[in-house]
Amino acid sequence: MFTPLSLPNGQVLKNRIAKAAMEESMAEAGQLPGAPMQRLYRRWAEGGAGLLITGNVMVAPDAMTGPGGLVLEAGTPLAPYRAWADSVHAGGAKVWMQINHPGRQVFAALGNPGWAPSAVPLAMGKHGKLFAPVQALSAEQIAAIVQRFADTARAAEAAGFDGVQVHAAHGYLISQFLSPLSNRRTDAWGGTVEGRAKLLIDVLRAVRAAVQPGFAVGVKLNSADFQRGGFSEDDARAVVGLLNAEGVDLLELSGGSYESPAMQGRTADGRTLAREAYFLDFARDLATAATMPVMITGGIGRRAVAEAVLASGIDVVGLGTALAMQPDLPRQWAQAEAVAPRPVVAWRDKTIASLATMALVRRQLHRLGAGKRPAPGASPLTSLVMDRWMMKGLTRRYRAWRAAAA
């Protein structure tokens, strides 16, 4: 676990522990990172992880997972991003920016369309009204989005980040193209798994062409969507085969979406995930098809589990919620076993339970960014109410920012 890992492009991670992406919702005015983000990431870097992958940074200002998200595009001021990257390097870790477009997984309150491969709304039942109406992308719009990913990667490199991770999982735009449930297209971007993977491959090629060879390019991919008729393990294996030819430096395997939040341990198709290292069984199989290093994330909070993951042939262990609850967990593992508390919200309404879980985690991130200790015993209900109130204020600020730019 504490031996270095050399990536295909020559970049070296000091150990096999990565902080996986978690959405911070900590943007300051202009959707830029500020001092709280610097404090949060320096704390994680000093906590011992070799690689920190940021929460998703959006490639377009009208395509946001939430109102507190960051935006980095051509022309965005780089000084706040440079200070963010410097805070990680000061703590001794590498930092990659996760870059993303949410597609149809956007809240209606933000006032933006839900762009998607096809006009297929989210299957969220009575909660579907929370999300924006869905519109299918044209070929010209797809090409513009590909360029935006390249622009964001170029800007991330200029700001001092060590790499980017292209988010192709969790039901966001590229994941939507990969899934036959949300991608009903009959043109070059639909049909076969190769057609559904075209957007991902085009993005990777554009990103790689926009950055220097020593800048790392990773991918986050679902091992499965865990929805009947969705992106399957066989699809994932085929996509891994395509990625082998694209110069990917690290492949992170996860699972799920807003409709089936497997990344929180819950599935929509009834399959039971492991209590810890949710996706290990799927990833172990997919790793045999991958020529690049493989990372898994999801439900890992004990050193013994992390060691078992690495012993199974996986190269990097990703920690998410565990580092929100215990930011120096890797440093503790270097000495002895330690276990991070894990929030469990066992409410009947799975959508609201998922929102409460995210609110609990975000509450810890905001405490860490303010220089405080985590509060693992926080009430899910109180956290959700506080989170909704915060999001209302951030939504007003975001919409004012967009109106001023119009």
Percentage of the chain lying above the pLDDT 90 cut: 74
| 264 pLDDT more than 50 | no
401, part of any domain: no
Mean pLDDT (whole number) for 183-204: 97
DSSP β-bridge partners for residue 339: 302
SS (H, E, C) 172-199: CHHHHHHCCCCCCCCCCCCCCHHHHCHH
The pLDDT value given to residue 361? 92
CA dist., res. 36 & res. 53, Å (int): 17
86, with CB counted inside 10 A (0-12, 13-18, 19+), is middle
Whole-angstrom distance, CA of residue 202 vs CA of residue 257: 22
Residue 272 has pLDDT above 60, yes or no: no
Q: Is residue 403 part of a domain?
A: no
Residue 128 lies in a domain: yes
Residue 265, pLDDT above cutoff 80:
no
pLDDT score, position 225 = 65
Residue 276 binned pLDDT confidence (cut-offs 50, 70, 90): low
Q: pLDDT tens digits for 325-355?
A: 999 999 999 998 888 878 778 888 877 888 8
CB 183 within 8 A of CB 142: no
Q: What is the pLDDT of residue 262?
A: 47
pLDDT value at 124 more than 80: no
Q: Is the pLDDT of residue 274 over 60?
A: no
Residue ranges of the alpha helices (H) in 91-243?
139-158, 173-178, 193-196, 198-210, 233-243
The string of pLDDT tens digits covering residues 47-64 is 999 999 999 999 999 999
Contact 12, 282 (CB under 8 A): no
Lowest mean pLDDT among 108-112, 204-208, 270-274, 391-395: 270-274
Q: How far apart are CA 284 and CA 296, in angstroms?
A: 9
pLDDT of 271 reads: 46
Check pLDDT > 90 for residue 287.
no
- Mean pLDDT to the nearest integer, 137-149: 98
Please give the residue range of the domain that contains residue 145: 5-343
226 in a structural domain: yes
pLDDT of residue 109: 95
Q: Please check whether residue 219 is in contact with residue 163, taking contact to mean a CB–CB distance below 8 angstroms.
A: no
d(CA 186, CA 117): 10
| CATH code of the domain covering residue 139 | 3.20.20.70
- pLDDT value of position 345: 84
Residue 386 within any structural domain of the chain:
no
Which has more confidence, 74 or 230?
A: 74
pLDDT band at 130 (very low <50, low <70, confident <90, very high): confident
**Assigned domain for 349 exists:** no
Looking at residue 307, what is its pLDDT? 92
What is the per-residue pLDDT for 183?
Answer: 96
Label the pairing between strands 57-58 and 17-19.
unpaired
Domain count across the chain = 1
Side chain identity at residue 354, one-letter code: S
Residue 238 has pLDDT above 90, yes or no: yes
Tens-digit pLDDT profile for residues 394-404: 999 999 999 99
Confidence check: pLDDT of 18 > 60: yes
In a domain, 41, yes or no: yes
Q: 269 pLDDT exceeds 50?
A: no
DSSP string, 39-51: HHHHHHHHTT-SE
- % pLDDT > 70, the chain: 92
Average pLDDT for residues 111-120, to the nearest whole number? 95
Band (pLDDT 50/70/90 cuts) for residue 231 is confident
Average pLDDT of the residues in 142-170: 97
Residue 378 falls within a domain, yes or no? no
The yes-or-no verdict on residue 67 having pLDDT over 70 is yes
State which H helix or E strand residue 108 sits in: none
pLDDT at position 257: 59
For the cut 60, the answer to whether the pLDDT of residue 37 exceeds it is yes
> What's the pLDDT at 95?
98
Question: Per mean pLDDT, which range of 109-113, 196-200, 222-226 is the poorest?
Answer: 222-226
